[in-house]
Amino acid sequence: MKKWRFLILIYFLNAVIILWTVAPYLWLIISSLSYKIDLLTVPLQWIPRRLTLENYISLFVDRGSTSGNVSLFLASLRNSVIVAFSSTLLAMSLGTLAAYALARLRFPANNLILLLMMGGQMLPPIAIVIPLYVLLRSVKLLDTHIGLILVYQSFILPLVVWLLRSYFASIPSELEDAARIDGSSYVGALFRIVLPLSAPGLVSVAVFAFIASWNEYLYAFIYTNIAAKTLPVLIGEFSTKLGLEYLRIAAAGVLASLPPVLLAFIFQRYIVQGLTAGAVKG
Amino acid sequence: MKALLTKVLNTSRYLGLIITLPSLIAIFGILLIPFVNSFSLSLYQKDLSRPHLDAFVGIGNYIKLLQDARYLNSFRITLTFSLISVFFELILGVGIALVLHQRYKGVGIARGLIILPWAMPSIVNAAMWKWIYNADYGALNAFLHQLGIIDQYQIWLANPKAALALIILANVWKETPFTAILVLAALQSIPAELYEAAKVDGASAWQRFFTITLRLILPVVMVAVLLQTIWGFQTFELAYIITGGGPFSSTELITLRIYAQTFRSLRFGYGAAMAYFTSLVLLIPAVAYIRAAYRAIVEY
């Protein structure tokens, strides 16, 4: 009897949790597929009787503007893809080496470097956004992909080093030791043994880095203007402009959230591991 | 030459430094040096719109800051925003984790879905809630109206108190999963033997909950609270998009104030002082967090 009551309570709470988690996002998706007029009815129809892709199509096809222009949405999408992939790639290349050194090699100041990485992760972006602006302006990297990719290293690189370091440290070092005895160098052991063994770790850290740079708003908002404007910045512009079609914003929001949301669902297990490793250990 | 290279590459102390160097240069160049620059910038009057007045003012900007009613107001609002957010993220996060820790059919679905708000771009989160709060078509009005809680659609974001509360709600929705995921992982790492031993010793369910469960998840909860406080202070786009800081500056978070002073009024020196002062306040939870995390790593 008591067991039954407990189960009913648990299932009720489970339903509340799912509803609370999914309902706002579901409403965004429903809105993005609706006709505006259908959303005006009182009382509101939560499940629309008819759907449309018009809000999505309008993002890709520039109606009424001068001919030949790529739509704003496509241009920003392109910028986002370039910046997120390049930032991830750069951080992974630099970070793998540093993480390996911090996990395996004994050298002066390695603990200090570890502390610097962690401290760096904690620095509020708002504290460096102003001097970085001055710096980017002086080297003419404002509103460029390269400028943004470099700035993104400030939060992706510490994250990558931090997560990969704990991943490398969790791999037993016997195989490497054996390879070293057989005459392989440290770098040889890294590429032939550690990296292949760490494939799942590398992928999950790369996913983290990609999501972080894809979602970033503040730096992109301040440092890009036209040429390198990313998707989050465009969505921000859409939603602060009065009179812009809400449903188009909803459609753009759904599309912009799809890559990180899908990646998070696919790599769920690794993400959860990474979150706990990143927080319990740093 | 080749022998020297081989020797360097095979000596852990040289190789370690060499392959860490690129990352170190990057971290110094884009993080640490700008952070120090930020401080020196904060000691100057540097208005891009009035460059002829640029001058060293020492701690002048900081003195001005502490008398700036609008800055102090934004500080107070940020503190309120962060603390209330963290409070609810903690309660809901631990609550959700406790439910998802149970074994029942379908728990996997909820555990999987919970990651959704975490993964969403924060800007989409802001746009989404702005749409929900919309006075004419918003889901919030429709929902409350259908439940009979309100009899007329309200312009929620025109009310200072409601606006702040709604921004907090949007933040809590996005940030709670992080706490929930951390706490759930901590719950799952508690060995079952502990509970059995306590049961044998005659501890009641409540006693077991307080002496085992709560005590063992406390370190993780502390970490979540510290991180969420730090992140709460850094929130920008939620307020910027949903309310723009209004009505009557009631949702003007510090980051919005800094942005307006620096990039709208072009007072770079004063903006830097604001940003630096805010970071100094954040240093307290950050150091507490780094100490805990660093200890965990160096010990093992």
Band (pLDDT 50/70/90 cuts) for residue B300 is very low
Range name among A4-18, A110-124, B60-74, B84-98 with the lowest pLDDT average: A110-124
| Minimum distance, in Å, between the CA of residue A281 and any CA atom of chain B | 5
CB atoms A24 and B15 under 8 Å: no
The CA distance from B60 to B212, in Å, is 53
B270 pLDDT above the threshold of 60: yes
B77 pLDDT above the threshold of 50: yes
The CA distance from A79 to A59, in Å, is 15
CB atoms A127 and B276 under 8 Å: yes
| Minimum distance, in Å, between the CA of residue B201 and any CA atom of chain A | 23
Q: Which residues contact B197 (CB under 8 A, 6 or more apart)?
A: none
- Look at strands B55-56 and B44-45 and give their pairing: antiparallel
CB atoms A250 and B293 under 8 Å: no
Candidates A87, A126, A155: best to mutate against B (most CBs of B within 10 A) is A126
| Under 8 Å between Cβ of B172 and B88 | yes
Amino acid (one-letter) located at A139: V
The CA distance from A79 to A71, in Å, is 13
Band (pLDDT 50/70/90 cuts) for residue A244 is low
B103 pLDDT above the threshold of 70: yes
CB atoms A24 and B173 under 8 Å: yes
CB atoms A282 and B296 under 8 Å: yes
Residues of chain A with CATH 1.10.3720.10: 72-280
Band (pLDDT 50/70/90 cuts) for residue A280 is very low
**DSSP letter, residue B157:** G
Burial category of B278 from C-beta neighbours within 10 Å (exposed 0-12, middle 13-18, buried 19 and up)? buried
| Minimum distance, in Å, between the CA of residue A168 and any CA atom of chain B | 13
Mind listing the domains of chain B with CATH numbers?
A: 66-121+160-299 (1.10.3720.10)
Q: Does A98 contact chain B (CB < 8 Å)?
A: yes
More confident residue, B53 or B113: B113
Nearest CA in chain B to A127: B275
The per-residue pLDDT for range B124-172, each reduced to its tens digit, is 999 999 999 998 888 999 899 888 888 888 899 999 999 999 999 999 9
Q: What is the mean pLDDT of chain A?
A: 87
- Name the most confidently modeled range: A137-151, B23-37, B220-234, B277-291: A137-151
Candidates B9, B30, B172, B225: best to mutate against A (most CBs of A within 10 A) is B30
CB atoms B96 and A17 under 8 Å: yes
Burial category of A196 from C-beta neighbours within 10 Å (exposed 0-12, middle 13-18, buried 19 and up)? exposed
Q: Provide the 3-class DSSP secondary structure of residue B267.
A: strand
Nearest CA in chain B to A233: B123
ipTM value, please give it. 0.91
Give B293's contacts in chain A (Cβ within 8 Å).
118, 279-282
CATH fold of A72-280 reads MetI-like fold (1.10.3720)
Helices (H), strands (E): how many in chain A? Answer: 14, 0
B36 alpha-carbon distance from chain centroid: 22
Burial category of B229 from C-beta neighbours within 10 Å (exposed 0-12, middle 13-18, buried 19 and up)? buried
The CA distance from A2 to A74, in Å, is 57
| Under 8 Å between Cβ of B74 and B160 | no
CB atoms A105 and B99 under 8 Å: no
A234 pLDDT above the threshold of 70: yes
Mean pLDDT across B251-261 = 94
Burial category of B101 from C-beta neighbours within 10 Å (exposed 0-12, middle 13-18, buried 19 and up)? middle
The pTM (predicted TM-score) of the whole model is: 0.91
- Nearest partner of A79 among A251, A263, A234, A261, judged by Cα: A234
Q: CA of A212: how far to CAs of A177, A215, A226, B173, in Å?
A: 35, 5, 22, 18
The CA distance from A189 to B15, in Å, is 13
- Nearest partner of A11 among B115, B209, B99, B205, judged by Cα: B99
pLDDT of residue B203: 84
Q: Does A280 contact chain B (CB < 8 Å)?
A: yes
CB atoms A108 and B286 under 8 Å: no
The per-residue pLDDT for range A146-198, each reduced to its tens digit, is 999 999 999 999 989 988 988 888 888 888 888 878 777 887 888 888 888 88
Candidates A130, A159, A257: best to mutate against B (most CBs of B within 10 A) is A130
The CA distance from A171 to A177, in Å, is 12
Which of A94, A110, A217 has its CB closest to that of B237?
A: A217
pLDDT of residue A63: 63
The per-residue pLDDT for range A61-86, each reduced to its tens digit, is 876 554 445 688 999 999 999 999 99
